Structure 1
């Protein structure tokens, strides 16, 4: 597993969104974790509706509860499955979920 940092504070495990930066040998990459409760209050509205739209980004990981232990477990599982790099995007200095 490559070194990583959780870039945001987790204020509420059930309602949170945090970015994680991972130090790959070829450079930094990032992804973000978000809970369904937080997702319900984020995103753009579909035109002329009150319905929020999320386009399922590959670097978006949805978990029912967000803690450092959950983040670590998911990252390790993605690494073990060979999916970690594919689930991240290149870090350009300004990760923004």
Structure 2
């Protein structure tokens, strides 16, 4: 099972269903899709950069691997929540 591919497919399906439920126009859908793609790209690049930096540091044994990844992802999620509501689509 290739987990990153499943994750991307779920994100694409979620964005599509979100736009259908909200009944966005074609132009709104384009902007929402582009914004979602840019947001996804920023999150992946930020996570990759942080994990690259963490690979060079000495971590406690219990946090190596998935442990530190979950903590980093949670902190990043809190940071990205700050961006919610900056732009509104009406």
Q: TM-score, normalised on structure 2?
A: 0.29
Structure index of larger Rg: 2
Name the one with the larger helix percent: 2
Q: TM-score, normalised on structure 1?
A: 0.27
